[in-house]
């Protein structure tokens, strides 16, 4: 499974669209196999959902997200998890 976390200074960003970086974790059950950081491709409607879907991301975790963005992620086959707080690896393990 691939889990993307919207990051700002190593912690979950309060708003996914403004996050400078997305960290994509590759997991196997509860085990993190590795991760890669990707710069935000731009904050325009639908860009990030299509981009993460193209990387075969299964889940996007962010502190906050608007209802339209949440809908676009679902349409792209990426499950949004909203309201997360904390350091990226801790959140990915949860």
- Write out pLDDT tens, residues 36-81: 999 999 878 889 999 999 999 999 999 999 999 999 999 999 999 9
Q: Please compute, for residue 21, the number of CA atoms within 13 A of its CA located in the half-sphere on the CB side.
A: 14
Q: Which residues contact 44 (CB under 8 A, 6 or more apart)?
A: none
Tell me the pTM. Answer: 0.93
Helices 67-75 & 47-54 angle (0-180, nearest 10): 30
Tell which CATH architecture fits domain 2-93. Answer: 2-Layer Sandwich (3.30)
Domain positions in the chain: 2-93
């Amino acid at each position: 499974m691939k889990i993307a976390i919207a990051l700002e200074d190593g912690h979950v960003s309060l708003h996914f669209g403004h996050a400078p970086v997305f960290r994509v974790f590759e997991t196997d059950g509860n085990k993190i196999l590795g991760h890669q950081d990707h710069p935000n491709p731009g904050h325009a409607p639908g860009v990030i959902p299509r981009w993460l879907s193209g990387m075969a991301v299964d889940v996007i975790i962010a502190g906050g997200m608007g209802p339209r963005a949440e809908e676009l992620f679902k349409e792209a086959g990426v499950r949004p998890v909203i309201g997360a707080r904390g350091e990226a690896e801790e959140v990915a393990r949860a």
